């Protein structure tokens, strides 16, 4: 953690503090990726568009749930690993948003042009600008997914905590993809049975994932399952 980082409260849960701490880690990570891209002469628009989406708003519900699970399982000690994992969840969420916007042909996200629209606007002179934007958004989504993994792998978790977290992550990813498939089957003008049901276990897994970092392991998963449903 940097010297200027604002620490989490010693006890309890302050969502605003969690959001600030997670955003700080996301900004630091993306700044490093932008510098690396510049050094390798990669197109700067890739990190620019991704950064705009990641840091352009959002409630950070998933990171807050992750930290809440850690607190509920009596997590204590160094908070940086759990905050980096919470940041990886937000990066994974960004991947899902970009795919969702392409599938739904959404023009905006969080009051700004969606990723595919932002890329298309940068290449407005091309006849295939719209197709380029859609293809680029898929690739940027893949990059966000890869970077969410990188944030997790570099979070500094012990081997047993990393193993526990990946079990939850694997299940969460599968559930999200099935939820997206259900959304694709039922067009926006139709009733979407199961969409809310598909999101509930994902939210519960975010709490479980935070709880998996509790070194004592006493509360995983029974106590956190009850907390997630309140």
pLDDT score, position 222:
39
pLDDT at 136 over 90: yes
Phi, psi of 148 (to 5 degrees): -65, -40
CA torsion sign, 25 to 10 to 169 to 181? Answer: negative
Q: How far is it, in rounded angstroms, from Cα 123 to Cα 101?
A: 19
pLDDT tens per residue, range 81-107? 999 999 999 999 999 999 999 998 999
Integer angstrom CA distances of residue 28 from 9, 53, 64, 115: 22, 15, 19, 21
194: left (phi over 0), alpha (psi -120 to 50) or beta: left
Predicted confidence at residue 70, as pLDDT, reads 85
Task: Determine contact, residues 109/121, Cβ cutoff 8 Å.
Answer: no
Please report, for residues 187, 188, 189, 201, the alpha-carbon distance to residue 184 in angstroms, rounded to integers and kept in the order given: 6, 9, 12, 19
Average pLDDT over residues 138-151: 96
* Packing angle of the helix pair 195-211, 61-72 (nearest 10 deg): 50
| CB proximity list for 71: less than 8 A, separation 6 or greater | 11, 12, 13, 210
Per-residue pLDDT of 7-65, as tens digits, reads 666 566 788 999 999 999 999 999 999 999 999 999 999 999 999 999 998 899 999 99
Give yes or no for residue 119 having a pLDDT over 60. yes
Q: Would you give the distance in Å from CA 4 to the centre of its chain?
A: 23
Whole-prediction pTM value?
Answer: 0.79
* Spatial contact of 87 and 26, defined as CB atoms under 8 Å apart: yes
Answer yes or no: are the C-beta atoms of 28 and 51 closer than 8 Å.
Answer: no
Query: Exposed (0-12), middle (13-18) or buried (19+): which is 113, by Cβ within 10 Å?
Result: buried
**Residue 196, token pair as written in the block:** 């809310």
């Amino acid at each position: 953690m940097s010297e200027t980082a604002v620490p989490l409260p010693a006890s309890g849960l302050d969502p605003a503090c969690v959001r600030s701490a997670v955003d700080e880690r996301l900004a630091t990570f993306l700044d490093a990726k932008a510098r690396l891209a510049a050094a390798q002469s990669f197109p700067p628009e890739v990190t620019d568009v991704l950064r705009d989406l990641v840091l352009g708003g959002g409630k950070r519900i998933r990171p807050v749930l992750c930290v809440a699970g850690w607190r509920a399982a009596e997590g204590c000690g160094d908070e940086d690993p759990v905050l980096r994992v919470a940041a990886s969840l937000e990066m994974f969420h960004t991947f899902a948003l970009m795919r969702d916007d392409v599938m739904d042909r959404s023009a905006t996200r969080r009051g700004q042009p969606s990723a595919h629209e932002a890329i298309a606007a940068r290449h407005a002179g091309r006849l295939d600008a719209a197709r380029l934007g859609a293809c680029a958004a898929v690739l940027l989504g893949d990059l966000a997914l890869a970077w969410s993994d990188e944030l997790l792998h570099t979070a500094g978790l012990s081997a047993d905590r990393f193993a526990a977290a990946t079990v939850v992550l694997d299940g969460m990813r599968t559930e999200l993809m099935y939820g997206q498939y259900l959304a694709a089957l039922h067009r926006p003008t139709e009733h979407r049975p199961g969409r809310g049901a598909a999101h509930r276990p994902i939210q519960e897994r975010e709490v479980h994932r935070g709880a998996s970092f509790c070194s004592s392991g006493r509360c995983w998963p029974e106590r956190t399952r009850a907390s997630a449903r309140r």
